């Protein structure tokens, strides 16, 4: 993955005119180009930001999808046919990543060097844990709720219905949902800070977002389990 700023112009294979390396079609002769090396944003001609115009994204996605349709390359050269498939795959990945707010955030932060994902799991580059990334205030509650979920599942198996447990879980579900909503609101605030800022401000926002994404993962896993248990 490369950041768009580092993109160097490449020459079109057909007309030899130099163009931005992330275009799927040559702006000069309109011929299809091989899958570009740039980031997902540049595929759509978007500035790499966290708040994006989803209508523009969707419009570009459909426009490019139509242009890449295999039928349009029925009489094209063999390599153009191959590129149309490869470009379509890239376009789909790019669209799926950018349209989802969380995937988009993770993607852009990773482009800027953030360590996110299970392979990092709260550890720094040497496999050591960064304690500031473990939401300690949540641990106790997370653990207790997991215990209640397990208890309820066990009770269900024996056919017993524990009304009190059930109402506890329903209450917990609502509480965790509101915590999740708060995290999402905070994320949006950080988006704006990151988009507007540069250098240090971006670094601060990035750190805040990594922590928020961690917290969010906890909460959404829990909510999924509570919902499953209650719905069972």
Partner 1 sequence: MAYSDKVVDHYNNPRNVGTLDKSSDEVGTGLVGAPECGDVMRLQIRVNPETQVIEEAKFKTFGCGSAIASSSLATEWIKGRTVEDALAIKNTDIVKELSLPPVKIHCSVLAEDAIRAAIGDWKKKNGVAETAATAETAK
Q: Kindly list the residues in this chain that would bind partner 1 in the complex (CB under 8 A).
A: 116-123, 127-129, 133-135, 138-140, 142-143, 146-147, 150, 214-215, 217-218, 221-222
Distance CA 135, CA 147 (A): 19
Q: At what angle do helices 101-111 and 78-99 cross, to 10 degrees?
A: 110
The residues, ordered by sequence, that sit 6+ positions from 107 with a Cβ below 8 Å of its Cβ are 40, 97, 98
Minimum distance between the CB of residue 32 and partner 1, rounded to whole angstroms?
37
Q: Closest separation between CB of residue 74 and partner 1, Å?
A: 41
Q: Which two tokens stand for residue 157?
A: 């198996």
CB 80 within 8 A of CB 32: yes
> Which residue, 96 or 224, has its beta carbon nearer to partner 1?
224
Closer to partner 1 by Cβ: residue 70 or 117: 117
- Closer CB to partner 1, 93 or 124, in the complex: 124
Q: What per-residue string of b and e applies to 8-29 under the rule 16 or more CB within 10 Å gives b?
A: eebebbeeeeebebbbbbbeee
Check if the beta carbon of residue 138 is closer than 8 Å to that of residue 118: no
What tokens appear for 95 in the block?
A: 């669209």
Look up residue 58 and give its two tokens. Answer: 């969707």
Distance of closest approach, residue 141 Cβ to partner 1, in angstroms:
10
Q: How far is the CB of 140 from partner 1 (least distance, A)?
A: 7
CB of 156 to partner 1, least distance (A): 17
Measured from the CB atom, is 5 or 118 closer to partner 1?
118
Whichever of 4 and 155 has its CB closer to partner 1, that residue is: 155
- CA 42, CA 36: separation in Å to the nearest integer? 9
Q: What is the nearest approach in angstroms of partner 1 to the Cβ of residue 187? A: 15
Comparing CB distances to partner 1, the nearer of 41 and 218 is 218
């Amino acid at each position: 993955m490369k950041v768009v700023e580092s993109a160097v112009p490449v020459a079109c294979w057909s007309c030899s005119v130099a163009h931005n390396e992330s275009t799927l079609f040559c702006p000069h002769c309109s011929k299809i180009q091989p899958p570009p090396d740039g980031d997902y944003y540049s595929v759509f001609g978007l500035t790499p930001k966290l708040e994006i115009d989803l209508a523009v994204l969707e419009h570009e996605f459909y426009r490019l999808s139509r242009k890449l349709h295999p039928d349009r390359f029925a009489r094209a050269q063999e390599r153009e046919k191959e590129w149309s498939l490869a470009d379509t795959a890239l376009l789909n990945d790019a669209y799926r990543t950018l349209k989802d707010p969380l995937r988009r955030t993770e993607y852009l932060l990773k482009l800027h060097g953030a360590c996110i994902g299970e392979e990092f799991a709260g550890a720094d580059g040497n496999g050591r844990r960064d304690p500031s990334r473990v939401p300690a205030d949540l641990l106790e509650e997370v653990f207790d709720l997991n215990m209640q979920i397990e208890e309820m599942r066990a009770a269900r198996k024996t056919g017993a219905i524990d009304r009190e447990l059930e109402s506890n879980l329903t209450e917990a579900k609502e509480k965790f949902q509101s915590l999740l909503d708060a995290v999402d609101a905070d994320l949006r605030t950080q988006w704006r800070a990151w988009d507007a800022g540069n250098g240090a401000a971006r670094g601060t926002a990035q750190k805040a977002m990594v922590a928020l994404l961690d917290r969010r993962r906890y909460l959404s896993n829990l909510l999924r389990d509570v919902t499953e248990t209650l719905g069972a």
